[in-house]
Amino acid sequence: MTAAPPALPTALTRLTGVRHPIVQPGMGWVAGPRLVSAVADAGALGVLGSATMTPERLRAAVREVRSRTDAPFGVNLRADAGDAAERVRILIEEGVRVASFALAPSRALIARLKDAGVVVIPSVGARRHAEKVAAWGADAVLVQGGEGGGHTGGVATTVLLPEVVDAVDIPVIAAGGFCDGRGLVAALAYGAAGVAMGTRFLLTSDSTVPDAVKARYLASAAADAIVTTRVDGLPHRILRSELVASLERSGRAAALFRAVRHAASFRRLSGLGWVELLRDGAALRRARGLSWSQVLLAANTPMLLKASMVDGRTDLGVMASGQVVGRVDDLPSCAELVGRVMTEASEVLSRLPARG
């Protein structure tokens, strides 16, 4: 029998009840029940990506994870979604341990979750956002530096992380650039309570991303994870591809036409009516200060990601990726990955010179 990897208790493990201070974030189309339950069984915090799920599918996914594992796990929600309150109710009714948010949830949503005993962990990309959600009662915060995949900012983790750690009195989870035990120890040295590793968990044998897509990731260098605003009008770190080059060359009219087509596809897939879709768009516009053209462009994201992450069509879709992709060269199981990270972290810590 393989020995359990060494534990490393932190404020994150104590808050969430997991064994290891590692988080698999809620990636849309990627973080489904199979990956989340495998991460949870490995002793880390797996988080379901629910933004692309209907409420009915969300409840079914939560129950599927629960049928696969007894370990704690979380669900990522869109705070600006028109049905956010309904989704929060599902989490509470189903006894989910952790709720994470891609945008800052309202003070009322935080209070409702906390009153039900749910741990609230918003994701932020700036110190002021961390200070705001901490003041509203968030239990912890996940801070992503510019190296991270998907929507990202321009400040590196090594600058942003200590800035946020110094600004708030709640546990901080570091994201953007992490894939191994050395990174975990470095984050802890900065004052973080753990790390999130999106790209690294995407590239595991437990991930349902098609093999051909995983091969594209494994063949990529750090420089291939570029930032573009042509997917949905916001800075988005994705892998370089012919489609991305085409998006960069396309004019505004072509981009808006593509967005309208994708909005219609996502409406059918999500079960939303046009009124609900417009309501969510208005909420997104207020939350991020976007123009209506940027809101329309945002419809590109879920469908372009689905084309690659679900359908395996890298010619028709985009692949969100952190720069750390250049350091990943294998597809371990989640148990193997977590064990490797924790063993390496223990070894790194043992080699550090003693103070005195």
Which residues face 98 on adjacent strands?
74, 119
Average pLDDT over residues 74-96: 94
Q: What is the pLDDT of residue 295?
A: 53
Provide the 8-state DSSP code for 102.
S
pLDDT in tens, 14-44: 999 999 999 999 999 999 999 999 999 999 9
| Domain boundaries defined on the chain | 11-210+327-351, 212-309
- Answer yes or no: pTM beyond 0.75: yes
**Which of 100-104, 216-220, 275-279 is predicted most confidently?**
216-220
Kindly report the CATH number that applies to the domain delimited by 11-210+327-351: 3.20.20.70
Does the pLDDT at position 248 exceed 50? yes
Q: What is the pLDDT of residue 275?
A: 46
Q: What percent of the chain has pLDDT over 70?
A: 85
Query: Which residue has better confidence, 53 or 256?
Result: 53
Concatenate the DSSP letters of all residues of 257-313 into one string: HHHHHHHHHHHHHHT--HHHHHHHHHHHHHHHT--HHHHHHTTHHHHHHHHHHTT--
Q: Which residues have CB under 8 Å from 264's CB, separation 6+? A: none
**Which CB contacts under 8 angstroms, 24+ apart, belong to 269-278?**
269/52, 269/302, 269/303, 269/306, 270/52, 270/54, 271/54, 271/56, 276/82, 276/83
